[in-house]
Structure formats: C-alpha cells, structure tokens
Amino acid sequence: MKQKLVLIGNGMAGMRTVDELLKLSPDKFEITVFGAEPHGNYNRIMLSPVLAGDKQLSEIIINDLQWYEDNKITLYTGKTITKIDRVNQQVISDDGITSDYDRLIIATGSLPVLLDIPGKQLEGVISFRDINDVNVMIKTAKTHKNAIVIGGGLLGLEAANGLMIQGMNVSVVHRSNTLMSQQLDQEAADLMREELEQKGMHFLLNHHTEALLGDDRVEKIRFKDGTEVAADLVVMAIGVRPNITLAKASGIQCDRGILVDDTLQTYTPTIYAVGECVQHRNKTFGLVAPLFEQARVCANHLVDMGFASYVSAVTSTKLKVTGINLFSAGDYVGVDGTESIIFKDVSRHIYKKLVIKNNTIVGILLYGETTDGLWYFSLLTEGQNISDIRENILFGQQHVEEQG
C-alpha cells in the first residue's frame, strides 16, 4: 500500500516539492493537496505582469486541474486546513474534510503585513498577495482614480506600476528616503525614483501613515504630519511574515517561522515545511530561488534518499516588471572595509556597482544595465579573486575576456 502524503498549500514551494517527488519516485505516495485559493497552482511571481497587463491569468497557471488528475493527485481548492492532529496524523479543513497522512508538508507561505491603523478595514484597502488582490485592483482601476501604495519596496513598486498602467493616479508612500532598500543603495534608489517619476508615478517619501479615512470605502489617507491625500484604493505592501498560525496552533515548534533543519524537517519528524513559512538557521525567505532548492532537498528526504542538505546561499534579485532592469545581490551598499567600483551614466539611468572585499565580489548592484549580473553573481558565489580583471570587470564579461 502507498504511503499517504498531504500538502497544505497549493503554492509554488509546496507544488515544486511535489514535482521533485514525482520525478524521484512517482509511485511512492498517494498525494492530497489542500489550497486556500480556488485555483490550480499558479506562479505567484507573475502576478505583477498580470496586473501590468503583460500576461493573462491563464498564462501563469503552472499546473491546471487536469494535471492533478493525470498525476492522480487529490486537490482540494478553496479549502483551509484549520487543524493538524499530530497524534492521529490527520489534517482537518474548515469544512470538515479529514485527511490522513504518513508524511505532511506544510507550505502555507506568508501573509502580508498590514498596518494596524484606524481605517484598515475599509473597503478598498488591500494587500498584494494573490489573484484575488490583482482582480480587485484591475476592477477598481476601471471605476476609481486615486491609488495609494504604502511601501516602496519591490512588491509595492510593482503594484504601483501595475496600477498606473491600469490607468490610476498612483502615489507611493514610503517611510524612508530610500526606495527598495532591500535591493538598492541611495544612489540607485534616487535614479529609480527619477525614472518612475518621469513615467508619472508620485512619491511621498519620509511619510508615516496615521490613518485611513472614509465611511464605507476609503477616501483619504492621513499622515502623522497631518497632511491628507485622496485615496480610492490603498494597497499595503510593507512586507510579509511567515504564515505560521496553523503550525503554531498545532503545537509545531515555531519562532518567526516554522523551525526546520537542513532536511526541511520540523520538530515533528513526520512533518516537513518548505517555502516562505519556514525559518532555517534563523533566516526566513521571500524569493523564489531558495524555495526551489528547499523543494529539492525536502523531496530527497521524503523518498528516503536522505543525502541532500539545504544550505542557504546569497540570493540575487532581478526586477523587470516596472520596465527597469535591476540586479542586486549581497552587500550592495558596502559596509566598512569594503571597496566599491562604480559606473554611472545618469542621463541614461544606468548605475553599476560592485562591492569588493579581499579582492572578491561581495555585493552587486546593477541598475538599468544588467547584462553581466549573472556573471558577477557566479564570481560572487564562487568567491573568485578578481584582482587581475578589476580594471575592466565593471564593463562586462566581453571586456574582460578580450584580455585573454
């Protein structure tokens, strides 16, 4: 008889684990998947292009319902698991479905962080996390004019850009002066702001939101300095936190996220966790590359091969939805003791920076021109000594290779 595997979370990390499992041992498990969203598995990264109108929803579906059927996977969509019974190795959904498991994967992802301020419950106040949020935004754009995006990070700017393309007048509220501070230094952030301003985006930097005002629907946003701006739609994109409500309630060891070891196993041996809900060696995750690696390692252990080990690596960020090419990785700001090589072509909105320590690249920030990002990234991860190619490295691989 096959072992039973249950996956909570029909998202990218969980389903990638299932993919890897099927590749390794297609017949080992009888698989059941619970998804809170009413769709098949889709590529969440592609929500921004959908909002921007570059892609249709159908194009971002990774596995349609037929695929689940073909692979003999039981899929429950629109079902939220409310309890994990670790003793009886069962999960129970909000509408009473019970499913037994021999192995359980928790891939509940993350939840958007919402500002706890007056008016947060008003109609037209949303986050940017799933297909439903995108649908609300597209719909609102047809009937309303003024959008406010709170949060000038990667997600916030993508939302703002999409809303602008959908025809709204968009202002981004950010509490510091540096946009996308997880990816940019001040110089690049200024370039980006200029470029987005030229496209028509507005910025309210160093603004702290105090309240959202309106009767049923949001009408205005008020800042701590007392100023107010009209708002028909407010998108909060100030960050995410691991979704650990279920795991915590079920007695699984959690800190900021669900604690996992190098095999992605939780403190309960039959239960694994992958993706944005986990905390591994004190790190939580938000980008896609490490999630895929977790899926590979987790699958390796689920099929009892047992040799893979997850090591979290430096990750790089690429951004392209806003029409701006950006590549950033490592210590892109440059802490004390590092050296920076910088190229600027301000009128073309190009800024390239490599942060060097002990003759190796420890940080990369490419803005506007990212051709060599992956090459730099490989030099960074390999810890290559770059002293011989230092003079020309910033001009790209083709300038270095010429030297032979």
Partner 1 sequence: MANSKISLTTCPYCGVGCGVQAIQEKDGSTSVKGDKGHPANFGRLCSKGSALADTLGLEGRLLYPHVNGERTSWDTALDAVTKGLTKVIEQHGADAVAFYVSGQLLTEDYYVANKLMKGFIGSANIDTNSRLCMSSAVAGYKRAFGSDSVPGNYKDLELADLIVIEGSNTAWCHPIVYQRIVKAKQDRPNLKIVVIDPRKTPTCDIADLHLPIKPGSDATLFNGLLSYISQQQHVDWAFVNQHTEGFAEALISAEKSAKNVTQVAQRCELTEQDVSRFFQLFVNTEKVVTLYSQGVNQSSSGTDKSNSIINCHLATGRIGKPAMGPFSITGQPNAMGGREVGALSNQLAAHMELDNPIHHDLVSRFWQTDNLASVAGTQAVDMFEEIANGNIKAIWVIATNPVVTLPNADKVLKTIEMCDLVIVSECEYNTGTVARANILLPALAWGEKCGTVTNSERRISHQRQFLPSPGEAKKDWWILAQVAQRMGFGDAFNYQTTAEIFREHAALSGFENEGQRDFDISGLASMTDDEYAELLPIQWPVTDQKPNGTQRLFEDKQFFTASGKAKIIAITPRAPVNKTSKEYPIILNTGRVRDQWHTMTRTARSARLNAHISEPIMQIHPTDAKKYDLNHGALAQLDSQWGDMLTRVVVTEEQRIGSVFVPMHWNFFMSSKGRVNALVNPVVDPISGQPESKHTPIKVVSYQPAWYGFMFSRTPLTPVDSPYWVKIKGEQFWRYEIAGEKAIDDFPSWAKKQLGEKGEWLEFSDLSAKRFRAGKIIDNRLESIVFISADYGLPTRSWLSQLFSEQTISDEMRMSLLAGKPGAGLPDTGSVVCACFGVGENTIKEAISGGSAKTVDDIGTLLKAGTNCGSCIPELKKIISA
- Is position 59 an interface residue for partner 1 (rule: CB under 8 A)? yes
- Sheet of strand 103-106: strand arrangement: 74-77, 29-35, 3-8, 103-106, 271-273
330 CB-near residues (< 8 Å, 6+ apart): 314, 355, 361, 362, 363, 364, 380
- Is position 398 an interface residue for partner 1 (rule: CB under 8 A)? yes
- Contact pattern from residue 94 through residue 123 relative to partner 1, giving x for each residue in contact according to CB under 8 A and a dash for the rest: ------------------------------
127: left (phi over 0), alpha (psi -120 to 50) or beta: beta
Which residue type sits at 276? E
- Is position 395 an interface residue for partner 1 (rule: CB under 8 A)? yes
Nearer to partner 1 by Cβ, of 144 and 318: the residue is 318
Tokens of 374: 């992956």
Q: From the list 172, 235, 356, 366, which residue makes contact with partner 1 (rule: CB under 8 A)? A: 356
Separation in Å, CA 378 to CA 42, 330, 374: 29, 12, 6
- Is position 373 an interface residue for partner 1 (rule: CB under 8 A)? yes
Site for partner 1 in 38-57 (CB under 8 A): 43, 45-46, 49
Site for partner 1 in 300-329 (CB under 8 A): 318, 320
Interface stretch with partner 1, choices 115-123, 133-141, 250-258, 345-353 (CB under 8 A): 345-353
- Is position 396 an interface residue for partner 1 (rule: CB under 8 A)? yes
Least Å from the CB of residue 241 to partner 1? 23
- Report the C-alpha gap between 290 and 330 in whole angstroms: 14
- Characterize the bridge pairing of strands 278-280 and 218-223: unpaired
Cα–Cα nearest to 192, from 12, 379, 328, 316:
328
Backbone angles phi, psi at 94, to 5 degrees: -60, -30
Least Å from the CB of residue 197 to partner 1? 19
Separation in Å, CA 22 to CA 10, 104, 264: 16, 16, 18
Give the interface size with partner 1 as a residue count (CB under 8 A): 38
Q: From the list 22, 230, 308, 374, which residue makes contact with partner 1 (rule: CB under 8 A)? A: 374
- Is position 276 an interface residue for partner 1 (rule: CB under 8 A)? no
- Is position 346 an interface residue for partner 1 (rule: CB under 8 A)? yes
Q: From the list 57, 344, 360, 389, which residue makes contact with partner 1 (rule: CB under 8 A)? A: 344
Q: Across-strand partners of 335?
A: none
| Separation of CA 129 from chain center | 9
- Contact pattern from residue 232 through residue 271 relative to partner 1, giving x for each residue in contact according to CB under 8 A and a dash for the rest: ----------------------------------------
Least Å from the CB of residue 275 to partner 1? 15
Cα–Cα nearest to 211, from 194, 227, 187:
227
In angstroms, how far is the first alpha carbon of the chain from the final one? Answer: 61
Tokens of 276: 């944005």
- Is position 367 an interface residue for partner 1 (rule: CB under 8 A)? no
Nearer to partner 1 by Cβ, of 141 and 326: the residue is 326
Question: Could you tell me if 193 and 185 are in contact, meaning their C-beta atoms sit under 8 angstroms apart?
Answer: no
Residues that bind partner 1 (CB under 8 A): 43, 45-46, 49, 59-60, 62, 288-289, 292, 318, 320, 339-348, 356, 369, 371, 373-374, 390-392, 394-399, 401-402
